[in-house]
Amino acid sequence: MNLDRGTKLGPYEILEPIGAGGMGAVYKARDTRLDRVVAIKISAAQFTERFEREARAIAALNHPHICTPMMSGRTTW
């Protein structure tokens, strides 16, 4: 999935791509509800289950240098 600047995914507005690879893409976005910058990771279809396991593992960690997942799952945005 390739998202252009200004694309809206629910309350998130895409600002720019950060990186992409075989598993998907990461975008810098703005949470319009809280007016803060966030990263949105969109996985390729074949990696959806792996991505969900990764999100659960990261959510179990608490460290100032590790990001906190705010939302995970499948959407139809």
Give residue-wise pLDDT tens across range 12-27.
999 999 999 988 899 9
What are 43-72's pLDDT values in tens digits?
Answer: 887 777 888 888 889 889 999 888 787 777
Q: Which residue in 15, 65, 19 sits closest to 42, CA to CA?
A: 19
CATH of the domain spanning 8-59: 3.30.200
Residue 10 CA, distance from chain mean position: 12
DSSP 10-71: TTEEEEEEEEEETTEEEEEEEETTTTEEEEEEEE-GGGHHHHHHHHHHHHT---TTSPPP--
Number of other CB atoms surrounding residue 29 within 10 Å: 23
